[in-house]
Structure 1
Amino acid sequence: MTEHQTTTDPRMTSRRHVLLGVGGVGATVALAACGTDTDDASETPNTPIDGGATTGGATGGTTDGDASALTTTSEVPVGGGVIFAAQGVVVTQPTEGEFKAFSNICTHQQCPVANLDGGTINCTCHFSAFSISDGSVVSGPAPAPLEEKSVTVDGENISVA
Structure 2
Amino acid sequence: MPGQPAARRTVLKGAALAGAAGLGVAACSTESKLGHAENPTPTAPVDLGAADAVPVGGAKLYREQRLVVSCPAKGQYKAFSAQCTHAGCVLDKVEGTEGNCPCHGSRFDVTTGKALQGPATEPLPEVPVKEAGGKLVAGPDA
8 Å CA contact 1:94–1:119 kept in 2: the answer is: no
Aligned-pair identity in percent equals 37
Give the conservation status (yes or no) of the 8 Å contact 2:63–2:92: no
User: Could you tell me how far apart the structure 1 residues matched to 2:57 and 2:105 are?
Assistant: 20
Q: What's the TM-score once normalised by structure 2's chain length?
A: 0.60
Match of 1:133 in 2: 111
Please report the RMSD computed on the Cα atoms of aligned residues, expressed in angstroms.
1.9
Q: Distance in 2 between matches of 1:122 and 1:94?
A: 19
Q: 1:106 aligns with which of 84, 96, 108?
A: 84
Q: Give the secondary-structure state (helix, strand or coil) at the position aligned to 2:52.
A: helix
Q: Which has the larger radius of gyration?
A: 1
CA apart distance, 1:117:
0.8
Shift of 1:107: 0.6
What is the CA deviation profile of residues 97-134 of structure 1, one whole-angstrom value per residue up to 9, with x for unaligned ones?
32111111101111110111131111122111111221
| Higher relative contact order (Cα pairs below 8 Å, separated by 6+ residues) | 2
Aligned residues: 95
Provide the residue aligned with 1:89 in structure 2: 67
Query: Which string of whole-angstrom CA distances, capped at 9 and with x for unpartnered residues, describes residues 73-116 of structure 1?
Result: 21111232222222221122133332111111101111110111
Q: Write the letter of the residue equivalent to 2:125.
A: E
User: Which amino acid in the other structure matches residue 123 of structure 2?
Assistant: P
- When normalised by structure 1's length, the TM-score is 0.53
5+ residue gaps, structure 1, are: 1-67
